[in-house]
Every structure is written in C-alpha cells, then in structure tokens.
Amino acid sequence: MDAQGLEPLREGDDARSWREIREDFPVLKQHVHDKPLVYLDSAASSQMPQQVLDALIDYHSNYHSNVHRGVHTLSQRATNAYERARLQAARYINARTEREVIFVRGATEGINLVMQTWGRENIADGDRILISAMEHHANIVPWQMLAERTGAKIDVIPMSDKGELDMSAYRELLGKDVKLVCVAHVSNALGTINPVAEIISLAHEHGAKVMVDGCQAAPHLPIDVQDLDADFYTFSSHKMFGPTGIGIVYGKFSLLEQMPPFQGGGDMIDTVSWEGTTYEDVPQRFEAGTPSIAAAVGMGAAIDYIAGIGRERIVAREHELLALATEKILTLDKIRVFGQAEHKAAVLSFDFEDIHPNDIGMILDTCGVAVRTGQHCAEPVMTRLGIHATARASFALYNNEDDIEAFIDGLLFVRDLFA
C-alpha cells in the first residue's frame, strides 16, 4: 500500500469462454422437474463457483479457528485469511484503506449499523432524510425507525413511469435541513442504474451525507467509492457469487472514527474495567464478537473470482443477455415489462395480463426455470407502478442464450396454459 491508498485490484486475467466459466458452477449441472436447471434469480442470491466452495472447505478442513485472539498457528492462519478478505473488499471498491471496510452480516445490517451509530448521533428533530422511490425495504425501514425516534422527516425522491429518478425533483428537495440521502446504486426491482455520482455531488453541495445500497451493483459494475465520493456504501456477498451471512459497509474514515460502537462485546474493546470501557480503533470497534470467518474467506474468494474474469467483461456479457431477453419477451402478447430506464443492469421485471406473478413463477419452475415473484422487498415501487407484484428474471455471468430460449419457451407454456 502506498501513501495514496491501496494497490489496485488486478482484473481480467481469465480468458476462458463463457461456456467454460459456466462449468465452474456445480449447481447448474442438475435437473429440476426433469428439466435442465435455468437459474434466473441471481438478484436474490447468485450461485457459487467451485473456487468459492473450495475456499470454504479449505477453511473448515485446515484452519478453522477464531481470529485476532490466538497465538497458535491455526488462529494466525484464520486471522490472516479474514483480514486478507477485508483487504480484497477494500481494493474491490477502491477504498483509501482497508480500515474503511467493516464486516457485517449483509447490507441490511450495514445500513442498520450506520443508522444506529452515525444516524443517532447526527439526525435530530426537524432534519430531513431523502430516500429514493425505488429503494429496497432495507434502505427505507431503518430510516423510518430513526425518524420516529428523533422527529426527523422523510421525503421521497420520485421516479418516472420508466423507472428513472426525477433528478429535477431531487434538486428541489435538497436544502440545508437535509442531513442524509439514501439511494440504491442499482434498483433490485427494476434494474435501473442510478446516477449516484451526481446524486452524491448534489447532496454534498448542501452538506448532506449519502448512504448507497450497492447490493445489485457489486456483482456487475466497477465500483470506485473514492471517485463517487460516497460517504457510506454497502453490499452483500451472497449476491456476488459468495456465501450468505457476510457483507461489508464502507464508510469514509473521517466519519467512522467519530461514530460510537454498534454493539458491545468481545473484540471491539481496548480495555474493560468496572470503572469503564474503552474501545478499539476502526474497524474493530464495529465488529463485536466472533465474526463469520468462513463466510469472509468465501467472500474474498468470490471477489478474486469476479476480478479474474473482469467486471468490464461481465458488464458487456450481461448487457447482451438482457438485450436478447428483452427483445424476445416483448414479442409475446399481453406481456408488460417494468423498468425501461436508459441505463439498466441485468434485471427484467414483467407480468402477463390476467396471470398472477406467483402462478407464472410456479409454472416456470415446472419447466426448470427459476425466477423470483412478488414485491421484491420494494413495495413502494409496486405501489408507484400501480401493480401488486411482478415476476423477475435476473441474469448473471453464468447464464447463456440457451437459458433465455428456455425462459421464453416457459413463458409461452404459461400463456398457452392459461389461454
């Protein structure tokens, strides 16, 4: 590491074909209802490649031990692997230092950590919080809880029928009483890629901080928190080819060092006595208790896997898949597609006229095709669009043209069955 920050993450060394890369994922070799599995639910949880599974097995088989507290060999190995994963995550988002990366159970806990620490210290009665109309519940509910406790007010940044944020309205909502702006980098329900750099810049002009939910961006897009000038940025491992139960929340060091602990217990303390307790420095101050060590190791392996293929290459491939799937689905009668923003990630939300999305999902499952149905933890989005739910197909680097053909054939079967 030099004085300016971390060494950049090397990307794009893997020159294998997409067909060869698909072979890394054991789960895709199975059949469901006697049909080859077509997995189109990666926005909820992506699958893990063998390289990640091997890293998990290696930890459990060869150096399972607690971190930071042991002087024996296994503890040292576990600690090194755990902290290496932190360094990998920091490089992945181009943080200034790995100390700006806090391990959490996932993005939901990351947002709650920021709410319970920075939020409770800095949001007061009369302050305003701006939240975009397309947020996941995890970036809405904690701030509603804080507003109820403090007397702060929440205002909503509206979105268009196409699923794009109204930036003119956003500019009008900003003011000196706005202390925080909450926005998804990519909408999980619609796939919209939001102009987060512009959103952050405008917020900073008015003295507000910004909390970015990066869950749907982390597996797909290059992320540079320094270039974005993000105050807080969070994402989960299980959406980026890693295990569940682990994620990170990034915060600018100048903010983190002023924030109180999130939870009390072991590993976050400096000294403990009956007269009082002093706390560790950042980031250990926010990581009480035994962490999810194996999951962190798996997340590090997932970051290595993505970087090896190259995020620019992944973006281009997923854009091809989304364009092909969108073109084909729009040829079907009585199909509505929700979320037609100019800039989109690989998410395709839709419904059939007079067919409940749950029925679509269950029938597609009999064809071996896995999609998500419901409100996608984005009920305000559904309300804004005047619908109850959608079916959602989400694509990842392991999908291919055959998956899209099976998906469209499944939708034809749904249509014909209800006709």
pLDDT, tens digit (0-9, with 9 covering 90-100), for 145-202 = 999 999 999 999 999 999 999 999 999 999 999 999 999 999 999 999 999 999 999 9
- Residue pLDDT tens, the chain, 419 long: 333 468 878 888 888 999 999 999 999 999 999 999 999 999 999 999 999 999 999 999 999 999 998 899 999 999 999 999 999 999 999 999 999 999 999 999 999 999 999 999 999 999 999 999 999 999 999 999 999 999 999 999 999 999 999 999 999 999 999 999 999 999 999 999 999 999 999 999 999 999 999 999 999 999 999 999 999 999 999 999 999 999 999 999 999 999 999 999 999 999 999 999 999 999 999 999 999 999 999 999 999 999 999 999 999 999 999 999 999 999 999 999 999 999 999 999 999 988 999 999 999 999 999 999 999 999 999 999 999 999 999 999 999 999 999 999 999 999 999 98
> 182 catalytic, yes or no?
no
Residue 228 in domain: yes
Residues 27 and 156 in one domain: no
Residue 396 in domain: yes
Q: Give the CB-side neighbour count of residue 269, counting CA atoms within 13 A.
A: 12
Residue 9 in domain: no
Residues 267 and 316 in one domain: no
Residues 97 and 32 in one domain: no
E strand residue ranges, 19-127: 31-32, 35-36, 38-39, 101-104
Residue 280 in domain: yes
Domain boundary among 285, 307, 329: 307
Residues 260 and 233 in one domain: yes
E strand residue ranges, 263-310: 269-273, 276-279
**Are 175 and 205 a contacting pair, CB within 8 Å?**
no
What pLDDT was estimated at residue 2? 36
Sequence-separated (6 or more) residues with CB below 8 Å from residue 243: 48, 52, 56, 237, 294, 295, 298, 299
Report residue 62 as tokens. Answer: 């060869």
How far is the C-alpha of 40 from the C-alpha of 407, rounded, in Å? 9
Residues 231 and 362 in one domain: no
What pLDDT was estimated at residue 69? 81
**Are 299 and 246 a contacting pair, CB within 8 Å?**
yes
Domain boundary among 262, 287, 307: 307
Q: Which of 182, 215, 367, 377 is catalytic?
A: 377
Instruction: List phi, psi (to 5°) of 347.
Output: -125, 130
pLDDT, tens digit (0-9, with 9 covering 90-100), for 103-129 = 999 999 999 999 999 999 999 999 999
Number of CB atoms found within 10 A of residue 299's CB: 30
pLDDT, tens digit (0-9, with 9 covering 90-100), for 380-412 = 999 999 999 999 999 999 999 999 999 999 999
How far is the C-alpha of 19 from the C-alpha of 402, rounded, in Å? 11
Residues 169 and 216 in one domain: yes
The three-class DSSP label of residue 309 is helix
CA 351, 355, 393 angle in degrees (round to 5)?
35
> What one-character-per-residue DSSP string does 97-161 give?
-GGGEEEESSHHHHHHHHIIIIIHHH--TT-EEEEETT--GGGTHHHHHHHHHH--EEEEE-B-T
**What are the C-alpha distances in Å from 298 to residues 88, 100, 270, 341, 412?**
11, 20, 29, 34, 39
**Are 45 and 392 a contacting pair, CB within 8 Å?**
no
Domain boundary among 279, 307, 335: 307
Average predicted confidence (pLDDT) for the chain: 96
pTM of structure: 0.96
Domain range enclosing 354: 18-42+311-418
What pLDDT was estimated at residue 6? 80
Residue 217 in domain: yes
Percent of the chain with pLDDT over 70: 99
What pLDDT was estimated at residue 1? 37
Instruction: Please count the structural domains in the chain.
Output: 2
Residues 75 and 59 in one domain: yes
Residues 301 and 361 in one domain: no
What pLDDT was estimated at residue 5? 66
Sequence-separated (6 or more) residues with CB below 8 Å from residue 346: 42, 191, 220, 318, 319, 321, 322, 394, 395, 396
Residues 71 and 23 in one domain: no
Per the DSSP assignment, residues forming a β-bridge with 213 are 184, 234
Residue 3 in domain: no
